[in-house]
Amino acid sequence: MKGWTGRLLRVDLTKGKAVNTEYSEELALKFVGGRGLAVKLLWDELKPGTDPLSPDNILIFAGGLYAGLPTVNSGKMVVAAKSPLTGGYGDGNLGTMASPNLRKAGLDGIVVKGKAKKPSYLWINDDEVELKSAADLWGKDSYETEKILKKEHGAATGVLTIGQSGENLCRISTVVSQEGRAGGRPGMGAVMGSKNLKAVIIKGTGEIPVADKEALQKMGREGFQDLLKRPNYKHWKAQGTMSTVEWCQAASTLPTYNFREGVFDHSKEIDGNTMEATTIKQRGCPNCNMICGNVILDTNGEESELDYENVVMLGSNIGVGDLKQVGRLNRMCDMLGLDTISAGSSIGFAMECSEKKLVKGLKLGWGDFDGSQKLIEDMSFMRGHGALFGMGTKAAAEKIGKGSADFAMQVKGLECSAYDCHHCPGMSLSFGTSPIGAHHKDAWVISWEISSGTREEYGPAKADKVIEFQRIRGGMFECLVACRFPWIELGFEVDHYPKYMEAATGLKWSLDDMWSLGDRVYALIRAFWIREFEGKWDRKMDYPPERWFKDPLTQGPLTGKKLDKSKYDTLLSYYYEKRGWDDRGIPTEATMKKLGLVEEAEELNKVVKLN
């Protein structure tokens, strides 16, 4: 196999053993890597019904086909497991030096099972693997942990770590790398913590075998040069994802006061222009020339790296209209290892519970900066009110009751990322059908929906667009494991990616092959959810939060707008039909077989009768 290393490191933390294993060519060809590889391994090897925070859960780090190769923006890694936040399939994608190092160590992924007896970290130095004591690291934040490990093992390494929130099994914890890259929103940090695994540190110095090294290098070089010439490059470099604040405010889609509104009076104070005026430097992922992490100084004069989602969820969504304060909350999340999106959503939810006097002793007003800092800390340590809100908004609402579930802004347990959808049925469908819960990663159709002037429409074209984006973003980019920003932000054409694949592997894949890959991975992820939710699966699990159906916007140009439930349900049916899923949202037997999921269909048939 060229392009792939063909090897996985299998670690059993309970036994303290690690073995280098080969995997089949069939697996590589059918699932490629990253998310595809992860879901297939979880499907085959995870016993259904496993407690996500038990030693039996399986944690996967997958580099993908492009990591370590000279293709554009390929320094990414997928981290996946059964999610403690949703109970279904969970993954995330972060930029990290661990990714090229993994592949140069001759590995496409790491599969971690069991639980270490004591806090430990995994040190992978090419072929040597050691499980070392993390006794001195446990209790430290993600920044300090990475610094200490790099000091000991060298700056050329890549480090994946958790902060205190992962250690304390807070279900909204992520994995962190490089002081500001974080991934695995559905609680991947907690899964790592449950295994007593504080960090993974990797150094790889080998060469990844490829079919045509010269062609690949040439294409990569040309790709990077091409990006520099794209019309939006300069603006992107100046503001990265942060220009979205201004755009969302103009479109009334800026989550404000726990997604009650789509406009924020202080949006200018937290937008990309304000950030640009105070940016002190930029940081980003390896192998990228579009570096988009903008660093400002927070209220304590410490560095904080901003992205759109972080700023909005910890800004307008909780009523904080000061960028330095937002920066502080963001830095705290990165250090403690809390997902900024879910943290901001949980704080907003807590503020609304406080306003409605639903939780005894809770006093947290909109825009309360000190109270938000305290709640972030308390969620990370799962103490006080943090023990309630650190469970995520779905579980917290189940405990609180009193109608609070209607304003818990989540789908399947994962909090919505920062797009208000009172008047965006297409983006609502995207949140509703995202394979990990409400994340924008897969089908960010909101820009198309607004620019095409179709916000009122619930027709089949919306379902088509969501599927198109899910194939490109959730399928191709997540399996090859490359940053999608060259394509979505600068218009770098998708047909570059099969060409890279040919140079790397010698295989001629068409874009249609890429889309089939996406469909296969989607069907298998859906099968995973159905198997886990045996007897409890309901198409309503693909609905967006109740708030968007019930509470109309009360401010801005879209005052009075809300989603229509019966039209949404029809839109969902179009989506199922186009995917070849039945009206329960379950792939039909014919669809599974067409996608090459024959054994998987047989297995699923034992759980639920397939149509």
DSSP letters along 174-216, please?
-EEETTTEEE-TTTHHHHHHHTTEEEEEEE--S----S-HHHH
Residue 486 CB, nearest approach to ligand SF4 (Å): 7
- Residue 500 engages ligand PTT in binding (rule: CB under 6 A): no
- Which is nearer to ligand SF4, 4 or 485 (by Cβ)? 485
Q: Is the dihedral of CA 407, 411, 413, 419 positive or negative?
A: negative
Q: What is the 3-state secondary structure (H, E, C) of 405-457?
A: HHHCCEECCEECCCCCCCCCHHHHHHHHHCECECCCCCCCCHHHHHHCCCCCC
Q: Which of residues 86-105 bind ligand SF4 (CB under 6 A)?
A: 95
Pairing of strands 120-125, 197-203: parallel
Among 94, 208, 210, 525, binds ligand PTT (CB under 6 A): 94
Segment near ligand SF4 (CB under 6 A); pick from 262-270, 280-288, 297-305, 510-518: 280-288
| Shortest Å, Cβ 491 to ligand SF4 | 14
Q: CB neighbours (10 Å) of residue 540?
A: 10
Sign of CA dihedral 565, 566, 567, 573: positive
Residues 579 and 587: beta-carbon distance below 8 Å: yes
Residue from 33, 70, 92, 585 binding ligand PTT (CB under 6 A): 92
Distance CA(31)–CA(475), nearest Å, equals: 10
**CA dihedral sign, ordered 262, 435, 82, 37:** negative
Q: Does 181 bind ligand PTT (CB under 6 A)?
A: yes
Residue 288 touches which member of ligand SF4, ligand PTT, none, C-beta under 5-8 Å by kind: ligand SF4
Q: Which of 23, 257, 264, 308 binds ligand PTT (CB under 6 A)?
A: 308
State yes or no: residue 78 binds ligand SF4 (CB under 6 A): no
Name the residue nearer to ligand PTT (CB basis): 131 or 251: 251
- Tokens found for residue 276: 């640009």
Minimum gap (Å) between residue 77 Cβ and ligand SF4: 11
Segment interacting with ligand SF4, rule: CB under 6 A, options 10-18, 147-155, 284-292, 449-457? 284-292
Residue 485: Cβ within 10 Å count:
21
- What character string, x for contact with ligand SF4 (CB under 6 A) and - otherwise, covers 399-428? ------------------------------
Asked if residue 390 binds ligand PTT (CB under 6 A), the reply is no
Beta bridge partners of 283: 293
Q: State the Cα angle at 238 between 232 and 244, rounded to 5°.
A: 75
User: Scanning residues 532 to 591, which ones bind ligand SF4 (CB under 6 A)?
Assistant: none
Pick what 291 binds: ligand SF4, ligand PTT, none; C-beta below 5 to 8 Å, kind-dependent. Answer: ligand SF4
CA distances from 37 to 108, 109, 524, 595 (A): 9, 9, 11, 15
Which residues of this protein are in contact with ligand SF4, per CB under 6 A? 73, 95, 284-285, 288, 290-293, 483, 485
Residues that bind ligand PTT (CB under 6 A): 76, 92-95, 174, 180-185, 241, 285, 305, 307-310, 333-334, 338-341, 441, 477-478, 483-485
